[in-house]
Amino acid sequence: MIARNDAYEIVIASLKEVFAQVGETPPASISDDTVLVGADAVLDSLGVVQLIVEVEQRVEAAHSISVTLANDKAMSARNSPFRTVGVLADHVVATAQEAAS
């Protein structure tokens, strides 16, 4: 199982890695409320895809749990599980719990 704080740290590290890969500077302040998709997003659509892949790889490397964050359930959700850093961290925890079951 992944603790919420661990998931949050993975999302933050992954977000910083995505910015590094494209040669951009990450926002000075990243918090639970940092917007990932939609209006005021810090990433474009390709960046979101890169972030999802990076988070999945880090979860597997750190916790030996294989997760698919962009699954049918996530894609059909009324509210995107990728909209903010905090919501994504919660989604990581929930998806890891389902994968471990």
pLDDT tens-digit map of 29-80:
999 999 998 889 999 989 999 999 999 999 999 999 999 999 888 888 888 8
pLDDT for the residue 39: 87
| DSSP structural state of residue 76 | T
Structurally, how many domains does the chain consist of?
1
pLDDT for the residue 76: 84
Q: Is the pTM of this model over 0.75?
A: yes
Measured between alpha carbons, how far is 80 from 100 in angstroms, rounded to an integer?
22
Distance (Å) of CA 21 to CA 26, 46, 50: 11, 12, 9
Residue 80: domain span = 4-23+32-100
pLDDT for the residue 7: 97
Read out DSSP for 40-56? T-SS-HHHHHHHHHHHH
pLDDT for the residue 31: 96
